[in-house]
Amino acid sequence: MNRFKLWCRVISLYTIPVLSLANFSCGGGATEQQKQIMETDKRLFGHTPDGEEVFIFTLSNKQGITAEIINYGGIVTSLTVPDRNGVFDDIVLGFDNLEDYLDEHPYFGAIVGRYANRIADAKFELGGKVYQLAANNGRNHLHGGTRGLDRRVWDYQTILHEGEPSLKLTYLSPHGEEGYPGNLSLSVIYTLTSNNELIITFGANTDKSTPLNISHHGYFNLTGGKESVLDHELLINASRFTEVNDDLIPTGELPEVQGTPMNFRKMKPVGRDIEMVKGGYDHNYVLDDGEGSLQTAALLYEPSSGRLMEVLTTQPGVQLYTGNFLDGSLTGKNGTVYQKHWGLCLETQHYPDSPNQPHFPVTILEPGDEYLHSAIYKFSVK
């Protein structure tokens, strides 16, 4: 499928009337087979301290790839894909139970926002008013605050679109939540396609001007969590990156990657130059094709398994984070201890601190406008 057709498909997925499976079929009612499929693909995962039910949903395709998602934080808890020999492994970091997700963790697999990444000094000015946000990363604001989108229970609908399984999550973020203006209506649609793509489509509208930058914060390890990601090979289609200070806040400069350890314009091992980057990679890359058109942001390849992941997006940036703050204190699925560099994030996004950087691409959503973007993770082997 070419990129134009794929993007048209993403748009149609977001804009079609959303039908719960109980009301879905071409003839006006769900078949018993359809009902059984969706009933077996949803199960109770646990309860929040407030007693809210959290469910886990399993999407699968004919090739045997599966994605499990919970409606707490929109977290992708597992993603199983085959290696070159047909052996399936779970390639994302996370936990076996809800309790660990409810505890402190580094946003494993979650939807982050309202504003993904950092906002300097936890404040911004809009319409002549200064808005104060939670300072949850030193003096700065990170990933939406102390209780961002990653810590909310979302409403859900299971749907079929063109015969492929999808899950739609919705959440209304009220005016003033975490300090942000506007009642913000959000939706996230997950679709697992027959072409081995996990498509995550984000949509939103607001009744007041508000900054918005939502992203999926998956930690990938294409070995299935058996080794660190330093031997993974990575390509990022970006000639520039957002330079940051010691607090990882953009300076406003967009230097070229050429001739620096930031250069991933050709495939190279993640660990080759990482010691030359203070603290490891935690930087936004300025994608060459800009914003709006669907583009390949990155390619991630793991030589021993042959797994290849292509990341496509309509956003102008992608954040490379190499799990620098993982330190062995967290035990994840199947008893795996997550050491430093045990996962790698490729977060499709707008640039960090854009509300305070007037020459960065605009991130203000206005009333009457619609926020729509997509992240696509496509899997193959070589």
Q: Which uninterrupted H or E stretch holds 44?
A: strand 42-47
Q: Residue 370: what pLDDT?
A: 97
The span from the CA of 363 to the CA of 361, in Å, is: 7
Number of Cβ within 10 Å of residue 252's Cβ equals 13
- CA–CA gap between residue 88 and residue 93 (Å, rounded): 15
Which residue among 141, 197, 347, 350 is the active-site one? 347
Cα dist from 313 to 15, 188, 195, 297, 338, whole Å:
18, 15, 17, 6, 28
Nearest Cα neighbor of 343 from 328, 315, 366, 324 is: 324
Domains in the chain and their CATH numbers?
3-381 (2.70.98.10)
Residues 217, 232, 350, 373: which is the catalytic one?
217
Q: Note the pTM of the prediction, 2 decimals.
A: 0.91
pLDDT digits (tens, 9 = 90+) for 225-275: 999 999 999 999 999 999 999 999 999 999 999 999 999 999 999 999 999
Whole-number Å distance between alpha carbons of 164 and 244: 41
Structure tokens at 153: 């229970």
CA distance 315 to 206: 20
Q: How many CB atoms lie within 10 A of CB 54?
A: 19
Residue 99 carries which DSSP code? Answer: H
Question: Which amino acid does the sequence have at 381?
Answer: V
> According to the 3-state scheme, what is the secondary structure of 195-264?
CCEEEEEEEEEECCCEECECEEECCECCCCCCCCCCCCEEEECEEEECCECCCCCECCCCCECCCCCCCC
Amino acid symbol at 7: W
CA angle 297, 299, 301 (to 5 degrees): 165
Active-site residue, 217 included:
yes
Token match 């359809």: residue?
34
DSSP letter for 150, please.
Answer: G
- Cis peptide bond prior to 114, omega within 30° of 0: yes
Q: Strand 282-287 relative to strand 66-70: parallel, antiparallel, unpaired?
A: unpaired
Tokens of residue 277, six digits = 């980057």
pLDDT score at 329:
97
Mean pLDDT by 10 residues, the chain (382 residues): 52 42 35 44 96 97 95 98 98 98 97 98 97 97 98 94 85 98 97 96 98 98 97 98 96 98 98 97 95 91 98 97 97 97 98 97 97 96 96
Q: Find where tokens 């946000």 sit.
A: 133
- Euclidean distance between CA atoms 62 and 84, whole angstroms: 17
Among this protein's residues, is 178 annotated catalytic? no
